[in-house]
């Protein structure tokens, strides 16, 4: 787990001149790899790397130079992440090709596999990754990002070349060298206010994009980046022939995945995040089998209905792990949010990332890596809204004219009246109504809020390609597919990576494993939503593994009490952010203030909408106005146990 930066210039002279600029740009992502930092240059390529070391700590330094015996320095690797099956890959390459390795690490497995297999090596990697390989013989950079988008990778192209980075801040530092556009992308802003995150491949800076999850690429010095999608997820529609065998396969693949996610050198400690749900409970319970001294970490709030600390404490006691709790106050959230926003690179309007930041900070005092349960809901059918896919399926057979009439009738019903939203959503096709778990501003609200609102920009810009390839699937599988490419990588994984790496803590997600996905994708819809619950097959598979008090507990969803705090503790703070923000050319601040007053008067719950605007205003104050200055701390190191 590290931070990489790579610059591909058109000429060797440009690369030589850019080395100091790369070293300087690398500093603002120092938190991603405080163990080592280095730069490297060869011909038209400059690499920078910050290392957070886990495997072969003493030898697998980066950038890593490797090659076959006849050209031992042919390739240079810049790699962020972990490859959990690297030992198997190394053994296979040695057996098949007689490959020789100079280290015991996972980085050499990537570059050696690429040497022998080319781009076909990428789907064989079981892990989380973003990497660049410079082939000095062919004069080409090849790179890839993991299937689910666990690790980030930004890129920018300009007259000075093409640069790739684990963090956008480094590309902003390089913007003068590259000559990239720094102006705000208004289309991306409109998407953000709809979705609560900036969807891939966009960023809020027009000249900086993201390499999409499940994609590889090639670029030659002076050329354009050529992308290829290698990950094409498929969900089944076939009924399970033997449910009990399915449950056993789920349990077996999870045991295997957690086992592999525990890899590290002996002196590197791995812990686990623990909430009140089955996903983190499963990872912690299985991890305990590999680390008897496992520490579990939970964040919460001292407010009824907004904390899973008590349930997590009961779980920790039941599975026999040490439990560390960090409660977060409204004052702490308000104070920390500007710094967290700086770490995010682009705004993410998920308030859960703030307590996650605090517990990551606490965990880093004890361990260097943690396991977490991200991805289980998307793979196993864990969101209650998936039930809507089945309940509204009959509406799909209603003639279009009748559905249009239903939609018109829904507009006449006052907001807040029961049945209005059901009628409105029933009038729409699944492509028109479902765009992931994020439901924030509607079109009519955005027209009032955004100045120069673009009618042609909407969520279907983001979802249409993914709906197209799932045309023949059942509605639940289609919704899962949308979430894989929207909510999961845009919100869940972005916040998980950014706030843990902000604290130099590696987060590992055993559910988001290719082998786990193969099993999860074979689960029929009747094994996802059944008997009034979600993730039914997963619950059955975990019945003999996790404590009973968690098994069928309803999903709480890590709520944060901003709904109540924005009426009281956070009210003046919110008004201050709105008043100070220099976003008048983008947003109508009167509309924002009206939302705040409506929320305070308890007429409507506007908390998520307000949070989205407030986080954007903080982001704008930091990255555009340069008005808000954040005090970035030095990376934190763990306590020796």
pLDDT tens, 18-47?
888 999 999 999 999 988 888 999 889 999
> Does the pLDDT at position 267 exceed 80?
no
According to the annotation, is 179 in a ligand binding site?
no
Q: Is the pLDDT of residue 641 over 60?
A: no
Q: Tell me if residue 9 is catalytic.
A: no
- Do 415 and 295 fall into the same domain? no
Residues 271 and 323 in one domain: yes
The average pLDDT across 204-217 equals: 97
Domain identity same for 466 and 528? no
259 is known to lie in a ligand binding site: no
**Distance separating alpha carbons of residues 600 and 172, to the nearest angstrom:** 38
Same domain, 333 and 417: no
Assess whether pLDDT exceeds 80 at residue 240.
no
Residue 105 sits in a domain whose CATH number is: 3.60.20.10
Q: Residue 228: name the closest of 316, 123, 382 by CA.
A: 123
What pTM was estimated for this model as a whole?
A: 0.94
> How far apart, in Å, are the Cα atoms of 164 and each of 129, 184, 456, 520, 556?
14, 19, 30, 33, 38
In a shared domain, residues 369 and 393: no
Question: pLDDT value at position 51?
Answer: 86
| Residue 507 falls inside a structural domain | yes
Q: What percent of the chain has pLDDT over 90?
A: 77
Return all residues near 57 (Cβ < 8 A) that are at least 6 apart.
35, 265, 267, 268
Name the packing angle between helices 330-344 and 493-501 (round to 10°): 100
**269 and 200: one domain?**
no
Residue 235 resides in a domain: no
Identify the pLDDT of residue 439. 75
| CA distances (Å), origin 37, targets 27, 132, 367, 524, 531 | 9, 17, 21, 48, 53
Give domain status of residue 601, yes or no: no
What's the total number of domains in the chain?
3
Q: Is residue 143 part of a domain?
A: yes
End position of a domain, from candidates 201, 229, 257: 229
Q: Are residues 13 and 116 in the same domain?
A: yes
Domain assignment of residue 434, yes or no: yes
Q: Are 227 and 216 in contact (CB under 8 A)?
A: yes
Range of the domain at 419: 386-445+458-485
Residue 559 lies in a domain: no
Is residue 221 domain-shared with residue 89, that is, in the same domain?
Answer: yes
491 assigned ligand-binding residue: no
Q: Indicate which residue of 2, 198, 211, 592 is catalytic.
A: 2
Q: Indicate if 470 and 544 belong to the same structural domain.
A: no
Q: Are residues 118 and 83 in the same domain?
A: yes
Q: Render pLDDT for 591-637 as a digit per residue (tens, 0 to 9).
A: 999 999 999 999 999 999 999 999 999 999 999 999 999 999 988 66
412/346 same-domain check = no
Place of tokens 């790496």: 501
Residue that is last in its domain, among 551, 571, 597: 551
Strand partners, 298: 325
Does any domain span residue 562? Answer: no
**Residue 290 belongs to a domain with what CATH number?**
3.40.50.620
Domain boundary among 551, 568, 599: 551
The pLDDT assigned to 98 comes to 94
223 and 326 fall within a common domain = no
Give a yes or no: residue 556 inside a domain: no
pLDDT band at residue 416, thresholds of 50, 70 and 90? confident
- Nearest Cα neighbor of 480 from 436, 433, 533, 426 is 436
């Amino acid at each position: 787990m590290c931070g990489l930066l790579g610059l591909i210039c058109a000429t060797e002279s440009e690369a030589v001149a850019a080395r100091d600029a790369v070293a300087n740009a690398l500093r603002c992502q120092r938190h991603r790899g405080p163990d080592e930092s280095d730069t490297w240059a060869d011909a038209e390529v400059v690499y920078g790397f910050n290392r957070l070391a886990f495997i072969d700590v003493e030898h697998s330094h980066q950038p890593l130079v490797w090659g076959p015996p006849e050209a031992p320095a042919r390739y240079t690797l810049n790699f962020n992440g972990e490859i959990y099956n690297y030992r198997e890959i190394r053994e296979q390459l040695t057996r098949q090709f007689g490959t020789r390795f100079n280290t015991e690490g996972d980085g050499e497995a990537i570059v050696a596999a690429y040497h022998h297999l080319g781009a076909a090596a990428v789907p064989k990697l079981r892990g989380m990754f973003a990497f660049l390989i410079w082939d000095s013989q062919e004069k080409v950079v090849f790179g890839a990002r993991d299937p689910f988008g666990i690790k980030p990778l930004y890129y920018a192209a300009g007259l000075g070349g093409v640069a790739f980075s684990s963090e956008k801040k480094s590309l902003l530092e390089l913007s003068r060298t590259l000559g990239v556009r720094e102006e705000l992308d208004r289309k991306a802003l409109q998407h953000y206010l709809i979705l609560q995150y900036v969807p891939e491949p966009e960023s809020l800076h027009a000249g900086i994009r993201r390499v999409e999850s499940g994609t590889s690429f090639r670029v030659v010095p002076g050329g354009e980046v050529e992308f290829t999608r290698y990950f094409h997820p498929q969900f089944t529609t076939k009924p399970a022939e033997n449910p009990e065998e399915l449950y056993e396969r789920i349990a077996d693949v999870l045991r295997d995945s957690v086992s592999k996610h525990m890899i590290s050198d002996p002196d590197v400690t791995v812990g686990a995040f623990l909430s009140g749900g089955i996903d983190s409970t499963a990872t912690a319970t299985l991890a305990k089998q590999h680390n008897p001294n496992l520490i579990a970490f939970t964040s919460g709030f001292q407010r009824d209905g907004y904390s899973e600390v008590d349930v997590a404490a009961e779980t920790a006691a039941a599975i026999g792990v040490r439990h560390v709790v960090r409660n977060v106050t409204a004052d702490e959230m308000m104070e920390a949010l500007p710094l967290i926003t700086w770490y995010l690179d682009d705004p993410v309007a998920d308030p859960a990332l703030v307590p996650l930041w605090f517990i990551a900070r606490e965990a880093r005092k004890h361990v260097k890596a943690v396991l977490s349960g991200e991805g289980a809901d998307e793979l196993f059918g864990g969101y209650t809204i998936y039930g809507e896919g089945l309940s509204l399926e009959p509406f799909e057979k209603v003639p279009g004219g009748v559905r249009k009439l239903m939609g018109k009738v829904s507009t006449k019903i006052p907001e807040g009246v029961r049945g209005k939203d059901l009628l409105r959503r029933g009038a729409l096709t699944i492509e028109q109504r479902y765009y992931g778990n994020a439901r924030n501003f509607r079109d009519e609200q955005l027209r009032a809020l955004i100045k120069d609102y673009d009618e042609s920009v909407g969520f279907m810009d983001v979802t249409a390609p993914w709906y197209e390839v799932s045309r023949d699937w059942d509605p639940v599988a289609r919704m899962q597919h949308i979430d894989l490419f929207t909510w999961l990588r845009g919100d869940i994984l972005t916040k998980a990576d950014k706030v843990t790496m902000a604290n130099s803590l590696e987060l590992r997600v055993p559910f988001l494993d290719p082998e786990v996905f193969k099993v999860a994708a074979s689960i029929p819809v009747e094994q996802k939503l059944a008997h009034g619950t979600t993730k039914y097959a997963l619950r059955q598979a975990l019945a003999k593994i996790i404590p009973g008090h968690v098994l069928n507990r309803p999903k709480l969803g890590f709520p944060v009490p901003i709904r109540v705090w924005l009426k009281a503790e956070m009210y003046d703070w919110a008004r201050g952010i709105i008043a100070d923000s220099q976003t008048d050319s983008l947003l109508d601040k009167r509309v924002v203030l009206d939302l705040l007053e409506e929320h305070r008067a308890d007429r409507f719950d506007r908390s998520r909408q307000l949070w989205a605007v407030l986080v954007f205003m903080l982001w704008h104050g930091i990255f555009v106005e340069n008005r808000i200055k954040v005090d970035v701390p030095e990376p934190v190191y763990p306590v020796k146990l």
